[in-house]
Structure 1
């Protein structure tokens, strides 16, 4: 047993030397555009406070990052994945298949999904999740024939509800590879979809059909995929104040001088409302760490120490200043232990 440990340690040491020889003496992070500013901020603090190089952080979207992260082990593959949703079973299985066996899941905090508009918009938006679903779903329940679906006929918001403005439905949002898109369809779209009792019943009768209806976004121009670049969406909203855009709360917070968030089910997307669980469209954020790269790439444990420190993710931490909603203290302690002890996910 002792011999095996010695051989393993020697092998890891050799891998570390190979990594340095290959030019990878820095941590490489990919993934969510929502988590990107948080990880970038931690990377900057880490680089200044330690003797390690500042990690390289790329915004690829959660889905795109998972493909890169799960492609294999070695210096050519990322060490850490930023994710604005939990890893899917299909992604976990792909990782396992490609030799990425020990994945450490660290929840870092919470975020809200907002429907934002220009501060120059001529009215204040106050939407229900049902109205959001009816505006953006590919198929909606036929108002004339209960239990049947029709292609979404609504072109203007007022057609959905007389209280809404008489303007064209146009919403800029992320592509299917985005964790923000996944969270939006699950929390906002599905939240509105299941207000129809017969569709809600489908969840137990025909799960595939239920998901197809509730998660299907229209493709006729009312929803415009704007890529992973949230700054581009801000520009679109400023150019046309009658449009809406989908963001993580943190991005709204960083651009509060230009854009505002719509109320959803009567609740404003504020830091306090998301932290207290009042805002209905909120989600957890994660980072995933490749345990096999610890010892191969220098500084991963120290980087995780910085990320999970109270000065970073605590109630008064520098990530809260960037818009991250901190977890309760007990949850922070749980994930700090997971990060420090590198406890891997066993299954999904």
Structure 2
């Protein structure tokens, strides 16, 4: 093949690729329902204050977002994926295999997972052990042996004699949700580890350990309510005996309707989540496809807005929305990495 033909084909490929990207003139963002309201407000302000169109933000759940984001490079795939947990190794590997080889990770702040109920009911006082015993598919045999049985508990009093005789009804997110992942890791596993023999399995049989600590019962006590946190609030209002699982930021916006349970004697607040004393706290992220920067208009400028002090700072508008800000040093370090578009090499 002569050099002119090779150059022509290469140029045609570049033009075709650029044209494909040019077919979309706004940023596409998917992912976490928890990060959604933060991303949405940044997108709206960004659209009003700049020459760029407001980004399209979809609430697909963290896992669903990564599935789309890692599908490939090009106009048909999202530019940014919001996440209420860190990307998993399998998701990172899927991205690499599909040609999404340069991913910029942005830690944006912190959130707490709350277990809430209607303000028309008494506030619940629960421990992580209570949550594990109420919601795990299999629980330790009450005869004291190091064996498991199918979860027999019907009421909270069955789980812990100091709790009410109310039926166990917990509304929560589906398996694709980062909130679900964080809940089982922080709350369920935290309670599971109160049993020394199960905790020991983490070193000797990790898959068995995760099976015990992470699998939620499927007999109706836990009700999957989808990715729509508004729906959970509506259902809690209709049933004052039920509990619901969602992020602190959503609680903050609906404090006239729902209240948070105390977990291990800690109430989720701005301060207890920021200092880590509330035991069910987690980091929030978004991930950027570096290959799309400069091809989809406005990505660099959107990142600059999100990581500005007026947005993610201690007095920023995201804090007003309920996001717990990073420390000043964290913001400086991460902001610098974002400007340099430093991609993840590995997890």
TM-score band by shorter chain is over 0.9
Match of 1:218 in 2: 217
Q: Cα deviations across residues 127-175 of structure 1 (Å, max 9, x unaligned)?
A: 0000110000000000104210000010000111121011100000000
Match of 2:62 in 1: 62
The verdict on how the C-alpha distance between 1:257 and 1:203 changes in structure 2, with shifts beyond 3 A counting, is same
Q: Answer yes or no: is 1:176 the counterpart of 2:175.
A: yes
Q: Is the 8 A contact 2:123 2:260 kept in 1?
A: no
Match of 1:42 in 2: 42
Cα distance in 2 for partners of 1:287, 1:160 equals 38
Cα distance in 2 for partners of 1:78, 1:251 equals 25
The verdict on how the C-alpha distance between 1:316 and 1:210 changes in structure 2, with shifts beyond 3 A counting, is same
Deviation larger for 335-344 or 207-216: 335-344
The verdict on how the C-alpha distance between 1:275 and 1:11 changes in structure 2, with shifts beyond 3 A counting, is farther
Cα distance in 1 for partners of 2:119, 2:12 equals 59
Q: Answer yes or no: is 1:97 the counterpart of 2:97.
A: yes
Q: Is the 8 A contact 2:20 2:74 kept in 1?
A: no
Count of residue pairs the alignment pairs up: 338
Distance apart, 1:48 and its partner CA: 1.0
Match of 1:264 in 2: 263
Which consecutive residues of structure 1, in runs of 5 or more, have no partner in the other structure?
1-7
Where does 1:283-322 land on structure 2 (aligned, <5 Å)?
283-322=282-321
Distance apart, 1:335 and its partner CA: 1.1
Q: Cα deviations across residues 218-268 of structure 1 (Å, max 9, x unaligned)?
A: 000000000001111111100000100000000000111100000000000
Cα distance in 2 for partners of 1:13, 1:35 equals 35
Distance apart, 1:10 and its partner CA: 11
Match of 2:204 in 1: 205
Cα distance in 2 for partners of 1:256, 1:15 equals 48
CA-atom RMSD, angstroms?
Answer: 1.5
Match of 1:52 in 2: 52
The verdict on how the C-alpha distance between 1:177 and 1:271 changes in structure 2, with shifts beyond 3 A counting, is same
**TM-score normalized by structure 1?**
0.95
Q: Please give the secondary structure, in 2, of the residue aligned with 1:111.
A: strand
Q: Cα deviations across residues 274-327 of structure 1 (Å, max 9, x unaligned)?
A: 011110000000000000000110110100000000000000000000000001
Distance apart, 1:18 and its partner CA: 3.8
Match of 1:5 in 2: none
Match of 1:19 in 2: 21
Q: Is the 8 A contact 1:180 1:248 kept in 2?
A: yes
The verdict on how the C-alpha distance between 1:186 and 1:295 changes in structure 2, with shifts beyond 3 A counting, is same
The verdict on how the C-alpha distance between 1:16 and 1:48 changes in structure 2, with shifts beyond 3 A counting, is farther
Q: Answer yes or no: is 1:333 the counterpart of 2:303.
A: no
The verdict on how the C-alpha distance between 1:57 and 1:302 changes in structure 2, with shifts beyond 3 A counting, is same
Q: Answer yes or no: is 1:146 the counterpart of 2:133.
A: no
**TM-score normalized by structure 2?**
0.95
Q: Please give the secondary structure, in 1, of the residue aligned with 2:317.
A: coil
Distance apart, 1:16 and its partner CA: 4.1
Q: Is the 8 A contact 1:131 1:192 kept in 2?
A: yes
Q: Please give the secondary structure, in 2, of the residue aligned with 1:319.
A: helix
Cα distance in 1 for partners of 2:12, 2:286 equals 28
Where does 1:225-236 land on structure 2 (aligned, <5 Å)?
225-236=224-235
Distance apart, 1:19 and its partner CA: 2.1
